[in-house]
């Protein structure tokens, strides 16, 4: 059984690659995506029960992923928020966690861990 993923990523190339990756490797249905903080926060507010996993990049075209993480604070217990960023410093990992992120993955080095995490999310929806 697949799960519903929401992507917050400002690079069209990375976003397209992630959509394919999530569909093919993680059996996810990507329900929507956003490239700015405002767009993401608005979509999440209007579709609060239409996603299972939100994947957030920290650096966006306008705004940043930290605001998106914060906007997910009052989500349902089964809904997970993860950060996927090239800026995987200890400080950013801690800050993301403090704001409510469930996990943090380095775009350049931890895609296998993201896949494993997606497997857990999918298994919890079975």
- Cα–Cα distance for residue pair 30/61, rounded to 1 Å: 20
Burial of residue 81, with CB atoms counted within 10 A of its CB: 0-12 exposed, 13-18 middle, 19 or more buried:
buried
In tens, the pLDDT along 86-126 reads: 999 999 999 999 999 999 999 999 999 999 999 999 998 76
pLDDT (average), residues 54-63? 97
**Which pLDDT belongs to residue 4?**
97
pLDDT at 2: 86
Mean of pLDDT over the chain: 95
How many Å apart are CA 106 and CA 43, to the nearest integer? 25
Q: Is 1 a residue whose pLDDT tops 80? A: no
Instruction: Identify the pLDDT of residue 126.
Output: 62
């Amino acid at each position: 059984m697949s799960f519903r993923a929401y992507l917050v990523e400002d690079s069209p190339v990375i976003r397209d690659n992630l959509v394919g990756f999530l569909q093919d490797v993680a059996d996810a249905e990507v329900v929507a995506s956003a490239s700015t903080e405002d767009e993401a926060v608005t979509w999440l507010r209007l579709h609060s029960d239409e996603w299972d996993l939100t994947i957030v990049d920290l650096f966006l075209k306008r705004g940043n992923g930290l605001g998106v993480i914060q906007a997910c604070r009052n989500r349902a217990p089964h809904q997970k928020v993860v950060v996927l960023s090239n800026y995987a410093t200890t400080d950013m990992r801690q800050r993301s966690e403090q704001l409510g992120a469930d996990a943090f993955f380095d775009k350049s080095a931890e895609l296998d861990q993201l896949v494993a995490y997606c497997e857990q999310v999918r298994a919890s929806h079975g």
